[in-house]
């Protein structure tokens, strides 16, 4: 009897241990399953169907201009496709950074590398040849290679329209004096100046236009200094196309409070806000670098990326004037600008990309 009792107790203990063991095993299996789900989500993001790297010019990714616009296009693409962990950027502080930054992304195996600005031309030529299996997008210049897409813009068209806004405003306020401040001299920024000159003089033939270049896309102090010079000479509107250096123009206009600045690349209305809730940004010339970046990323994802040159202009909304009603342009001025835009698209007005006023002078 005692022997039978011992056997029964042993059997109960054994069953109890098996039950505990089974319970413990279930808990241990459950935890890894939860972790595995998380890892699968991260892995899907980490493996990435495509990986994209953007290299900024010297203005930096937060220049409130073309670098920032390009990065915003990449971010928008990533958000639309759930690929936020698949995009990244490197910032350049000098031209010496261009080749190393592009090469770093290529060595990491990025599927598409975006270089923002015409100053990347030589670096893109070199690096794209070194990495023939990597796809590249060059903004604002052309490199003819089988793995490079080049995005160019008819900036003179959009600049003509903001020139119309400046000329009409200078006529209305009686100053008949405006200014242009560029980053670095050359055909790209020269096209901004050229269109602006033509737009101003079309509606205000006797307007004076001052032109200065900061010889920089990052020196906002120099930009402010040049803006102060032009405002002191009587300019009541200054159009800036100089990346972060152009933000100095906006700063000077805000400090004065009774003059206008024209934004560039993206809508800079908010950047010109004063304490009283009004903005010194008359309008902005929208250069859709974000659209160019988005388009290249989307083509990459869809397997339709092609080397060659894409031109962005008024007809495909690659450039435009910012014309939100209720801001600083009257509905009548907006209507006139829209009419000029239509004439350009119809071929009735041909806007030259060749500037005529020399740096440091006026017409």
DSSP category for residue 248: H
SS3 147: coil
Q: Residue 64 — pLDDT band, cuts 50, 70, 90? A: confident
pLDDT averaged over every residue in the chain: 89
Q: Residue 351 — pLDDT band, cuts 50, 70, 90? A: very high
- In the chain the domains, ranked by start, together with CATH numbers, are 52-153 (3.40.50.2300), 155-287+330-362 (3.40.50.2300)
SS3 160: helix
> In this structure, are residues 74 and 36 in contact, taking their beta carbons and an 8 Å threshold?
no
SS3 30: helix
pLDDT of 254 reads 98
What is the percent of the chain with per-residue pLDDT over 70, rounded to a whole number? 87
Least confident of 56-65, 143-152, 324-333: 56-65
SS3 27: helix
For residue 19, pLDDT over 60 is answered with: no
Closest-CA residue to 259 (of 357, 169, 163): 169
pLDDT of 120 reads 98
Name the one residue in this structure whose structure tokens are 């004096």: 177
For residue 79, pLDDT over 80 is answered with: yes
Average pLDDT in the 217-222 region? Answer: 96
Q: What is the Cα–Cα distance from 34 to 54, expressed in whole angstroms?
A: 35
pLDDT of 38 reads 25
For residue 110, pLDDT over 70 is answered with: yes
> Which range among 28-37, 41-50, 63-72, 205-214 has the greatest average pLDDT?
205-214
Average pLDDT in the 231-247 region? Answer: 97
Which has more confidence, 304 or 17?
Answer: 304
**Residues whose CB is less than 8 angstroms from the CB of residue 247 and which lie 6 or more positions away in sequence, other chains included:** 63, 64, 65, 220, 223, 271
Which has more confidence, 82 or 14?
Answer: 82
SS3 328: coil
Upper half-sphere CA count for residue 144 (Cβ side, 13 Å)? 0
Burial (CB < 10 A; 0-12, 13-18, 19+), residue 99, is middle
Average pLDDT in the 250-255 region? Answer: 98
DSSP letter string, 66-122: HHHHHHHHHHHHHHHTT-GGGEEEE--SSGGGHHHHHHHHHHTT-SEEEEESGGGHH
> In this structure, are residues 262 and 290 in contact, taking their beta carbons and an 8 Å threshold?
no
- Phi, psi dihedrals of residue 89, rounded to the nearest 5°: -140, 160
Which tokens go with 214?
Answer: 């900061």
Which has more confidence, 64 or 254?
Answer: 254
Q: Are strands 177-182 and 208-213 parallel, antiparallel or unpaired?
A: parallel
For residue 315, pLDDT over 70 is answered with: yes
pLDDT of 22 reads 36
pLDDT of 46 reads 55
Give strand ranges (E) for 214-356: 237-241, 260-265, 281-287, 308-312, 319-321
Q: What is the Cα–Cα distance from 116 to 343, expressed in whole angstroms?
A: 31
């Amino acid at each position: 009897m005692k022997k039978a009792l011992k056997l029964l107790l042993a059997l109960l203990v054994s069953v109890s241990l098996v039950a505990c063991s089974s319970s413990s095993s279930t808990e241990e299996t459950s935890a890894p399953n939860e972790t595995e789900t998380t890892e699968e989500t991260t892995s899907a993001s980490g493996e990435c169907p495509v990986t994209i790297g953007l290299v900024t010019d010297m203005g930096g990714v937060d220049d409130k201009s073309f670098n920032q616009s390009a990065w915003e296009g990449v971010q928008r693409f990533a958000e639309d496709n759930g690929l936020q962990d698949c995009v990244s950027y490197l910032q350049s502080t000098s031209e010496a950074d261009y080749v190393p930054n592009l090469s770093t992304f290529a060595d990491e195996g990025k599927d598409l590398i975006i270089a923002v600005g015409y100053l990347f031309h030589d670096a893109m030529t070199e690096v794209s040849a070194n990495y023939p299996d990597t796809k590249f997008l060059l903004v604002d210049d052309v490199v003819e290679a089988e793995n490079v897409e080049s995005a160019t813009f008819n900036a003179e068209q959009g600049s003509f329209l903001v020139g119309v806004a400046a000329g009409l405003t200078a006529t209305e306020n009686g100053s008949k004096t405006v200014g242009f401040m560029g980053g670095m001299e050359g055909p790209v920024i020269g096209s901004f100046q050229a269109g602006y000159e033509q737009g101003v003089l079309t509606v205000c033939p006797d307007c004076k236009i001052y032109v200065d270049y900061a010889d920089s896309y990052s020196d906002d102090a120099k930009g402010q200094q040049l803006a102060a010079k032009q405002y002191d000479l009587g300019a009541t509107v200054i159009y800036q196309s100089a990346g972060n250096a152009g933000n100095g123009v906006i700063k000077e206009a805000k400090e004065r409070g009774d003059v206008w600045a024209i934004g560039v690349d993206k809508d800079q209305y908010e950047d010109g806000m004063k304490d009283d809730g009004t903005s010194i940004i008359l309008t902005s010339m929208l250069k859709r670098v974000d659209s160019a970046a988005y388009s290249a990323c989307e083509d990459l994802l869809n397997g339709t990326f092609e080397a060659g040159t894409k031109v962005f202009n008024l007809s495909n909304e690659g450039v435009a004037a910012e014309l939100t009603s209720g801001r600083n342009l009257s509905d009548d001025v907006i209507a006139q600008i829209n009419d000029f835009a239509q004439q350009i698209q119809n071929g009735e007005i041909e806007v030259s990309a060749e500037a005529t006023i020399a740096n440091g002078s006026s017409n």
